[in-house]
Structure 1
Amino acid sequence: MRFRHPDGSTVHLAYCTNVHPAETLDGVLAQLRDHCEPVRKRLGRDRLGIGLWLAKDAAHALVTDPSALRGLRTELDLRGLEVVTLNGFPYEGFGAEEVKYRVYKPDWADPERLEHTTALARVLAGLLPDDVTEGTISTLPLAWRTVYDDDRAARAHAALTTLAERLDALEELTGRSIRIGLEPEPGCTVETTADAIAPLTAIGHPRIGICVDTCHLATSFEDPNTALDALAAARVPVVKSQLSAALHAEHPHLPEVREALAAFDEPRFLHQTRTLTAAGLRGTDDLGEAVKE
Structure 2
Amino acid sequence: MRFRHPDGTTVHLGYCSNVHQAEDLDGVVSQLARYAEPVRQRLGVDRLGVGLWLARDVVSELVGDERALRRLSDELAARGLETVTLNAFPYAGFHREVVKKDVYLPDWADEARLRYTLDCARVLTALLPEDAERGSVSTLPLAWREPWPTERADAARHALDRLAAGLATIEVETGRRIRVGFEPEPGCVVETTAQAVRHLGGLDPDRLGICLDACHLAVGFEEPAAALDRLAKAGLPVVKLQASCAVEAADPTDPAARAALRRLAEPRFLHQTRTPRGAESPSGMPATPPAPGGEARGPGAPTPAGPPGTDAPVLGTDDLADALDGGLPCAPGRPWRTHFHAPLHAAPEPPLRTTAGHLADVLTGLLGGPTPRCDHIEVETYTWSVLPEPPTDLPGGIAAELAWARDRLTGVGLKEDPS
TM-score of Structure 1 vs Structure 2, range by shorter chain? over 0.9
Matched ranges for 1:2-41 at <5 A = 2-41=2-41
CA contact (8 A) 1:133 1:175 kept: no
One-letter amino acid of the counterpart of residue 76, structure 1:
L
Whole-angstrom distance in 2 between the partners of 1:275 and 1:21: 32
How far the C-alpha of 1:205 sits from its partner, in A, is 4.2
Matched with 1:283 is 316
Whole-angstrom distance in 1 between the partners of 2:41 and 2:19: 19
Q: What per-residue deviation string (whole Å, max 9, x for no partner) do you get for residues 66-120 of structure 1?
A: 1100110000000000000000100000010000010000000000000000100
1:116 has 2:116 as partner: yes
1:249 has 2:249 as partner: yes
Whole-angstrom distance in 2 between the partners of 1:55 and 1:247: 28
CA contact (8 A) 1:186 1:272 kept: yes
Gaps of 5+ in 2: 280-312, 327-419
One-letter amino acid of the counterpart of residue 193, structure 1:
T
Matched with 2:186 is 186
CA contact (8 A) 2:205 2:236 kept: no
Matched with 2:161 is 161
Whole-angstrom distance in 2 between the partners of 1:107 and 1:242: 20
One-letter amino acid of the counterpart of residue 291, structure 1:
L
Structure with higher Rg: it is 2
Whole-angstrom distance in 2 between the partners of 1:163 and 1:281: 32
CA contact (8 A) 2:205 2:237 kept: no
How far the C-alpha of 1:277 sits from its partner, in A, is 2.8
One-letter amino acid of the counterpart of residue 199, structure 1:
H
How far the C-alpha of 1:14 sits from its partner, in A, is 1.0
Whole-angstrom distance in 2 between the partners of 1:244 and 1:205: 24
Identity percentage over the alignment?
58
- Taking only aligned residues, the RMSD between alpha carbons, in angstroms, comes to 0.9
Q: Under a length normalisation based on structure 2, what TM-score does the superposition of the two structures give?
A: 0.69
Q: Under a length normalisation based on structure 1, what TM-score does the superposition of the two structures give?
A: 0.98
Whole-angstrom distance in 1 between the partners of 2:64 and 2:175: 20
One-letter amino acid of the counterpart of residue 63, structure 1:
V
One-letter amino acid of the counterpart of residue 145, structure 2:
R
1:128 has 2:128 as partner: yes
How far the C-alpha of 1:204 sits from its partner, in A, is 3.9
Whole-angstrom distance in 2 between the partners of 1:154 and 1:202: 15
1:177 has 2:177 as partner: yes
Matched with 1:263 is 263
Whole-angstrom distance in 2 between the partners of 1:190 and 1:277: 19
Q: What per-residue deviation string (whole Å, max 9, x for no partner) do you get for residues 149-177 of structure 1?
A: 11111111111110100111111111100
One-letter amino acid of the counterpart of residue 274, structure 1:
R
Indicate the SS of the match to 1:187.
coil
